Amino acid sequence: MRYSNLSFFLILTVSFSTLAQELPRRASFEAKIGWPNNKVPGATIKEVTPNSPLDKAGIKVNDVIISVNGRKVLDQEDWSAITYAIRANKPTLFELKRGQEYIKKDVKLNSLPKEKHPKVDTFYETVTSDYGIKQRAIITKPKGNKKFPAIILIQGLSCSTIEEFSNRSNNWVKLIKDLTEKSNMVLMRIDKPGVGDSEGDCGKVDFLTELNGYESAVKVLKSKSYVDTSKIIVYGNSMGSALAPYLANKFDLAGVISDGTFYKSWYEHMLEIERRILQIEGKSEAEIYKLINEVFIPLYYEMLIKKRSFEDILEDNPTYKKYHRQGLNHMYGRPMAYYYQVQDFNFAKNWEEVKVPVRIRWGTNDWIMTENDNDMIIAILDAKGHKNHKLYKYTDLDHWSTIHTNYSSSFNFKPGKWDGKISQQIIDWAWEIIK
């Protein structure tokens, strides 16, 4: 019996020690690499930094990466998972195509530099979810020893990192940078499983597993000695914006800021977004009516209500293939199981039950989320007697914190413009809520 108890104790000790270990740092390619075009396999080397590990290994411009550590580069989802999975200072096997020649190179890549911000302390920490997945958390705090108000940021559904690093310059990153450096609050971000330094594969992680990572992060944030736990605000963008009231309700947070949010079921959302895309593409209203009824309603009913994969649906209904915009077993890089659970998650219930102050922003060029959803949230808050809520409709703002002249400009990934008021509004709202 003593031997068994000792063995159990040692196993527990090893397990907790393992959970406490720092996440290995992701690698930097120190190169510009073109994403796969989803038509032919491979990612093409566009530029290699002199004296970098790739350069020293003899990898050249126009070489095409066919596989990394045995995983084939077949499409953009593969490449996203591969780039997040490579760890610094560990042998990484590249299979490349150079002209008609196939070559292999074993390379140890350097670490991606960590964030640094003036007048702000930056901590790279590990959050372990109830599923045992270790996820990267980045916490920034103003200098000083007092307790600070805090914001926890919950991002959208895509498999993209919340980390700000030197070669990222989009406007979502600018917003994160401003929240970090200008808010005078603690800011917590967490990379979902399989993203950044986090363990896992984002293309396989379901919605409830991801949600548990956010729940675990809130618990960690509330444990910090430098955080005023009565003044934690959840700021959500896109999918995260609809999770914000859920987290506020569950953890008694101080307020909700939702940016580009929704209220209806995912089935309704997908039908509405398909309609808007068809309008942007210039289809006639008669044609849109026909396509919605004959293609998109049955397609998404089969997928979200009957819980079938696109692959199976398209096999049974090959006429849908011409209009289908997603993968066979993924949508926006996430697996079918993710959306089955999203469909069953009652977002409206959490909006209906929210008691803390609410600030909502919708951009008039946001073709992803509808104006009507935002109006519905305000209507239900009014009906419930909620006293502290605002909806601001930001002229020309799209879903990605960018000013555009119209829907089409955003849809076609035109450059757009940045306005410092975009991030400052979030900061002002956060202070307004806690005061």
pLDDT tens digits, residue range 270-320? Answer: 999 999 999 999 999 999 999 999 999 999 999 999 999 999 999 999 999
pLDDT of 424 above 70: yes
Q: pLDDT band for position 4 (50/70/90)?
A: very low
pLDDT in tens, 154-179: 999 999 999 987 667 789 999 999 99
Single-letter residue type at 201: D
- Just give the CATH number of 120-264+344-434: 3.40.50.1820
Structure confidence by residue, pLDDT tens digits, 46-96: 999 999 999 999 999 999 999 999 999 988 888 888 988 999 999 999 999
pLDDT at position 44, please? 95
Average pLDDT, the chain: 93
pLDDT at 5 over 80: no
Q: Which are the contacts of 127, defined by CB distance < 8 A and separation ≥ 6?
A: 134, 135, 136, 137, 190, 213, 216, 217, 220
Which amino acid, 180? T
pLDDT digits (tens, 9 = 90+) for 309-361: 999 999 999 999 999 999 899 999 999 999 999 999 999 999 999 999 999 99
Q: Give the model's pLDDT for residue 166.
A: 62
Contacts of 272-278 with CB under 8 Å at 24 or more apart are 272/370, 273/367, 273/368, 276/367, 276/407, 277/325, 277/367, 277/411
Q: Specify burial of residue 378 (Cβ count, 10 A radius: 0-12, 13-18, 19+).
A: middle
The answer to whether domain 31-108 and domain 120-264+344-434 are alike in fold is no
Q: Compute the distance between CA of residue 257 and CA of residue 179 in angstroms, rounded to an integer.
A: 13
Round to whole Å and give the CA distance between 359 and 374.
11
pLDDT(10) > 60: no
Task: Tell me: pLDDT of 121 over 50.
Answer: yes
Q: What is the mean pLDDT of residues 385-414?
A: 96
**Cα separation, 304 vs 292, whole angstroms:** 16
Percent of the chain residues topping a pLDDT of 90:
88
Per CATH, is 31-108 categorized as 2.30.42.10? yes
Q: pLDDT at position 20, please?
A: 44
Express as a percent the part of the chain with pLDDT over 70: 95
Does 408 have pLDDT greater than 60? yes
pLDDT score for 13: 36
* Residue 6 predicted with pLDDT over 80: no
* Helix/strand/coil for 181: helix
Residue 149 in 3-state DSSP?
Answer: strand
Q: What is the identity of the amino acid at 326?
A: Q
Higher local confidence (pLDDT), 128 or 9: 128
Q: What is the pLDDT of residue 21?
A: 60
C-alpha–C-alpha distance, residues 1 and 146, integer Å: 50
More confident site: 407 or 257 = 257
Domain borders along the chain are: 31-108, 120-264+344-434
